[in-house]
């Protein structure tokens, strides 16, 4: 379901391990940027702890959302920038991770799992699938009408693979927009600001990638 996919993807899209965190946030900042007042999706609450997110490590995700009719093929566009002193640095789309567009969320989780993007998204996809099943979200479209209430749901973020070390720890601004393909309606627009830092207490084989 679009709302949940986006939250995880926006976060997982921007894990970074290297660099310095300049202005760490202590809580996720989010706002609704959807000008479409008639959207079938209403997001009431999104929270992520701990903040900064530590990578590798566990995050706890809280989402309250409502879908008041059934929706099917929906695209998702992520636009992610790293905050820097004088200008924000756009994060590219690499191996389907980062500022990417996913053509149809109905298949995105399946694709993540079968193609194992960047060598980490297979595992994340599996976790997302399990999370969605706790909410009775079907594996395939259409989805809804329904309510989603995730309460501190735990997801495990693996170490960032070497191929994504273009990214670094820091503060990120992400905009996630989901558009229903059949109606052209913008169903989600979320504006998120979050911080990511390296989990330095992590040592040993499970903290090293490839």
Instruction: Locate 176 and state its tokens.
Output: 């996630």
54, 171, 180, 198: residue in contact with ligand NAG (rule CB under 6 A): 54
For residue 199, the minimal CB distance to ligand NAG (Å) is 4
Name residues whose C-beta falls within 8 Å of residue 163's C-beta, 6 or more positions apart in sequence: 94, 95, 118, 119
25 near ligand NAG, judged by CB under 6 A: no
Asked if 50 is part of the footprint of ligand NAG (rule: CB under 6 A), the reply reads yes
SS3 183: coil
Closest distance between ligand NAG and the C-beta of residue 128, in Å? Answer: 18
Q: Which stretch binds ligand NAG (CB under 6 A): 14-22, 121-129, 178-186, 196-204?
A: 196-204
- Binding ligand NAG by CB under 6 A: which of 32, 62, 68, 135? 68
To ligand NAG, the closest distance from the beta carbon of 201 in angstroms equals 5
* Residues with Cβ within 8 Å of residue 204, at least 6 apart in sequence: none
Taking a C-beta distance cutoff of 8 angstroms, is the pair 166, 92 a contact? Answer: yes
Judged by CB under 6 A, the chain residues 94 through 153 that form the site for ligand NAG are: none
Residues 75, 108: Cα–Cα separation, whole Å: 9
Instruction: CB nearer to ligand NAG: give 99 or 199.
Output: 199
Handedness of CA 170, 156, 190, 73 (dihedral sign): positive
* Residue pair 137/148 in contact by the 8 Å Cβ criterion: yes
Any contact of residue 199 with ligand NAG (CB under 6 A)?
yes
Neighbours of 201 (CB within 10 A): 8
Least CB distance from residue 186 to ligand NAG, whole Å? 13
The residue ranges that bind ligand NAG (CB under 6 A) are 38, 40, 50, 54, 57-58, 68-69, 199, 201-202
């Amino acid at each position: 379901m679009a709302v949940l996919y986006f939250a995880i993807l926006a976060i997982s899209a921007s894990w970074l391990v290297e660099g310095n965190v300049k202005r760490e946030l202590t809580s996720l900042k989010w706002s609704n940027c959807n000008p479409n007042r008639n959207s079938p999706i209403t997001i009431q609450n999104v929270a992520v702890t701990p903040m900064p997110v530590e990578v590798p490590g566990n995050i706890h995700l809280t989402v309250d959302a409502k879908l008041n009719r059934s929706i099917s093929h929906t695209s998702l566009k992520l636009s992610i920038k790293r905050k820097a002193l004088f200008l924000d640095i756009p994060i590219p789309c690499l191996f389907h991770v980062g500022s990417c567009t996913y053509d149809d969320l109905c298949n995105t989780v399946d694709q993540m799992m079968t193609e194992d993007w960047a060598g980490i998204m297979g595992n994340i996809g599996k976790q997302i699938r399990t999370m969605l099943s706790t909410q009775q979200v079907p594996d395939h479209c259409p989805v809804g009408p329904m309510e989603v209430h995730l309460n501190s749901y735990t997801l495990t973020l693996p170490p960032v693979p070497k191929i994504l070390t273009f990214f670094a720890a820091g503060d990120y601004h992400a905009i996630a927009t989901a558009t229903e393909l059949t109606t052209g309606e913008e169903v989600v627009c979320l504006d998120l600001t979050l911080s990511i830092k390296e989990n330095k207490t992590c040592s040993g084989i499970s903290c090293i990638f490839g």
